[in-house]
Chain A
């Protein structure tokens, strides 16, 4: 029985449970709903939830845990001498799984009988041929220990599956029966359902948090693997980024960090003045009609996918800059060799950040109380004096927070720099040169055929974790400043 069928049966049970619970509650008061503690539907929901939730919970846990148990048991069956030189247990295990799925597939398609598939002393060559003929994927010839392990794997998996179905269905039935029997006019179904909903909400919230923890942990473990293969001193304090898949790479984060920060600074130099001035215009000077058109237009910029910005950089901004600063360009200087440059990426990233800065600053400027403006205007200050001397200082902590949030966006931005910044890791102050960033290197180290045992690949995780810590720190700092500011007026 496939998993989807199991789920359908569970759902059907829940629906039946709902109507059964509802009608039993009505029956207990002879049809007069006024005598019930809760509305009839609550009794129905109670039965449905009691049937569904524990069964689904067990199902999910079972699906997660069973492969782990099967894997560790089967992997213990493989003798050490069955593992070839230069390979490891993990690789042999994936071969075992392939054979197991191959046997399963062959039995389903009728190329093999169940008895043949379970025969531990079957002729290896015939078996290999049968499997290959029936279209199953095998990367190498089957050996005796692998066959035994695969058969064990297969039998454990199928036993586990049957056991799971029995347990889950039994739980669902028991739950439904328990809730059905409890259904009575005195029973506080409403409160019980409320508790159940609360538990579901809590579960959803904790899944989100646990996922974050999981991401951090997985990065952390891979990073630790990396530091076992590569010196942390070179990573943090080295001066060269020169990955070499034949070994002996120099993997230092500093040139990448330099490129990242350089591009981010240019982006902020573009985004902060423009975004801030736009916010001041929109919140202080624009009429209601202008504002209602201009603000959504500005925010459309925020909805453009970053890859589109990347294309814009690649096809428009880069060539335009080259035609100005490049060889034979309008300015008569040849500073810029290619359209891939720090300046290209920085400018386009700055454009991307404008709505981010302006939207946040606009909210913050609007939060400055009207009484401040009145007070300043009442003293004979002009509108721009009021903005400069009263409103901006009052909004400054919030604006700083907005800029820090924008900075952490800039540091973590990937697509624009992949397409427009270049791939050369170096320390240079020249904005017309190509440079590379942490995010582009993560992409390039992980694309294509990768071997997750080499430092050249694992360095991506160390880079990712460092990036994560930098942006996390910036975000926390920004939120702290914004919150501190908010407390002043509310």
Chain B
């Protein structure tokens, strides 16, 4: 309950972190995302829900230009991060991805040690001046990933040797290590068991204090548990976007109501 009161206290002072206006995405000839307008607030968890193939993951991947790696994918419209268009020619997608970190559906630790996994981002971006600083970043990130206590004695062990839930928290720590401003999570719990899911959800709630978090999920309970804002996608359209409580208790659009009550999907 403490948690809830804090949310309410801070809700008014929030800035818009990402503003998407009139976004269209095409895969070859397929129009995958149609006219999406959404505003993602800072220090807030925003959940994207919707049936499979509705475009929520595609839209998420637009936010850090991961779709650039797919040849046939084209994005139109404006996506502004802190007021700057991320699809502007002057923006380096590589720099952007350091600012907008991403956690994937399947835990994907690199076949390296736990330490090297976390140090990967800081190393390529030159965030640490020396080994001591790097050690500090790694420890801080692992603590933020709520996995420090479990791995502090075996930082040299391979990251692939951890359990699924630990791997996913390691991947979150890895994403946090590059000091991002926004964290995108693409169904981060779909490959995890309920206990690991609970741990990751708790972690997401803690991450909200520092970052703007966007999470794609298939589980409506999860969206209700972890997010403050929810966007419902259907067939490439953003159907409804609003306070999570309002979306789940009093949806405006009949399609949203059908989906959350299980009639479409």
Q: Which residues of A are in contact with B by a Cβ distance under 8 Å?
A: 287, 369, 371-382, 385, 389-390, 393-394, 488
Contacts and interface: CB of A to CB of B under 8 A. Distances in A.
Nearest to A394: B111
B108 interface: yes
B108 A389 contact: no
Contacts of A381: 94, 120-121, 124
A389 B117 CA distance: 11
A379 B175 contact: yes
A384 to B, nearest CB: 11
B225 interface: no
Question: Quick one: which of A287, A380, A393 has the most chain B CB within 10 A?
Answer: A380
Nearest to B117: A375
Does more than half of chain A's interface fall in helix, strand or loop, or is it mixed? Answer: helix
B215 to A, nearest CB: 15
A380 B124 CA distance: 8
Nearest to B64: A378
B106 A287 contact: no
30 contacts: A287-B71, A369-B108, A371-B106, A372-B108, A374-B69, A374-B102, A374-B108, A375-B104, A377-B69, A378-B66, A378-B97, A378-B102, A378-B104, A379-B98, A379-B101, A379-B102, A379-B124, A380-B94, A380-B98, A380-B99, A380-B125, A380-B178, A381-B124, A385-B124, A389-B124, A393-B110, A393-B112, A394-B111, A488-B111, A488-B160
Contacts of A374: 66, 69, 102, 104, 108
Contact of A375 (B64, B94, B110): B110
Interface of B: 64, 66, 69, 71, 94-99, 101-104, 106, 108-112, 120-121, 124-125, 160, 171, 174-175, 178
Given A379-B97, A380-B124, 10 more contacts: A287-B71, A372-B110, A373-B69, A379-B175, A379-B178, A381-B124, A385-B124, A389-B120, A394-B110, A488-B111
Nearest to B103: A378
B110 A376 contact: yes
B217 to A, nearest CB: 18
A377 B108 CA distance: 12
A380 B108 contact: no
Contacts of A389: 120, 124
Contacts of B95: 380
A144 B216 CA distance: 101
Nearest to A371: B108
A416 B50 CA distance: 64
In the A-B complex, list the 8 residue pairs whose CB atoms are closest, starting with the nearest: A380-B98, A378-B102, A371-B108, A380-B97, A375-B108, A379-B121, A394-B111, A381-B124
B108 A379 contact: no
Contacts of B110: 372, 375-376, 390, 393-394
B118 to A, nearest CB: 10
Contacts of A376: 110, 120
Contacts of A394: 110-111
Contacts of A379: 97-98, 101-102, 120-121, 124, 174-175, 178
B72 to A, nearest CB: 10
Contacts of B175: 378-379
A371 B106 CA distance: 8
A162 B33 CA distance: 85
A310 to B, nearest CB: 42
Nearest to A386: B124
Interface centre among A375, A382, A390, A488, by most chain B C-beta atoms within 10 angstroms, is: A375
B127 to A, nearest CB: 11
Given A372-B108, A390-B110, A377 B124 contact: no
Most buried by B among A369, A371, A377, A378: A378
A376 B109 CA distance: 10
Contacts of A373: 69
A371 B112 CA distance: 15
Contacts of B97: 377-380
A380 B69 contact: no
Contacts of B171: 375
A392 to B, nearest CB: 11
